[in-house]
Amino acid sequence: MQDPGAGADAYTPTDRTVPTRSADRARYDRESVRAILDEGYVCHLGFVRDGAPVVLPTLYGRVGDRLYVHGSTGSRPLRMAGAADPGLPVCLTVTHVDALVLARSAFHHSINYRSVVVHGLAYEVTDPEEKRRALDALVDHVVPGRAADSRPANRKELAATAVIRLDLDEVSAKFRTGGVNDEPEDLGLPHWAGLVPLRKGYDTPVPDPALAPGTDLPDYLKVL
């Protein structure tokens, strides 16, 4: 185990990234943060519109310590980020639910989870090269290696797509792992207690009906 908050390869905790409760479940090391981010499919992106919060699910990609979100040039958070000076305050959260934790007591029911919360300013990506790398990262985030096995975006598609960037700087990971934490006096109760892990991974892929003849399922999609 690494020291959760220390070392050059960790993010510096801030007032916003130290939880008010269960601070022992927080971690700041880059390795934990990246592993959680890389396993996710969608993030939940929060921003403020007319003083109220908005939380939308969206795909994302990572290049080093930068996260990218894309969308139509007409989509609201992307337009807002493009217009904001210096940038649009956002909070980007990725969560994995690993297991249900069933305790004998209602109070101690919980879930085992891993989450990452990123605070910062989102900027529109205007450099064409960075935009291309970001879009590759977004596709590779869905399936690693997939960007190289698909037709790259053409000029029209690039023009229709906006990309915003959020740096990993003010960021924390949070975990709940392990078993049931019932009170000692409840251990003899007749209720079943334990973990119910949730299934993960790919189910059998379903090919497009119009697949070009002889197109085999790529190795990176083989179900283990």
Count CA within 13 A, CB hemisphere, residue 17.
27
Chain positions 92 to 131 lying near a second copy, rule: CB under 8 A, are: 92-93, 95, 97, 99-100, 102-107, 109-111, 113, 115, 117, 119
Which one among 12, 16, 31, 144 touches a second copy, defined by CB under 8 A? 16
Distance of closest approach, residue 200 Cβ to a second copy, in angstroms = 6
Distance of closest approach, residue 59 Cβ to a second copy, in angstroms = 7
- ∠ Cα 117 131 220 (to 5°): 75
Distance of closest approach, residue 126 Cβ to a second copy, in angstroms = 19
Q: Which is nearer to a second copy, 9 or 39 (CB)?
A: 39
Q: Which is nearer to a second copy, 14 or 126 (CB)?
A: 14
Q: Are 37 and 31 in contact (CB under 8 A)?
A: no
Distance of closest approach, residue 96 Cβ to a second copy, in angstroms = 9
Chain positions 163 to 182 lying near a second copy, rule: CB under 8 A, are: 179-180, 182
x/- mask, a second copy, residues 20-59, rule CB under 8 A, reads xx-------------------xx-xxxxxx-xxxxxxx-x
The per-residue DSSP string of 71-99 comes to EETTSHHHHHHHH-SS-EEEEEEEEEEEE
> Is residue 142 at the binding interface for a second copy, with CB under 8 A as the rule?
yes
Sign of the alpha-carbon dihedral angle for 149, 158, 206, 97: positive
Which one among 26, 63, 84, 195 touches a second copy, defined by CB under 8 A? 195
Tokens 């990609």 — which residue? 61
Q: Which is nearer to a second copy, 127 or 183 (CB)?
A: 183
Instruction: Work out the end-to-end distance of the chain between its first and last CA atoms, rounded to an integer number of angstroms.
Output: 28
Q: Which is nearer to a second copy, 8 or 214 (CB)?
A: 214
- Helix (H/G/I), strand (E/B), else coil: 153: coil
Which one among 64, 86, 128, 201 touches a second copy, defined by CB under 8 A? 201
Closest CA to 49 of 78, 28, 69: 78
DSSP assigned state of 162: E
Q: Are 123 and 165 in contact (CB under 8 A)?
A: yes
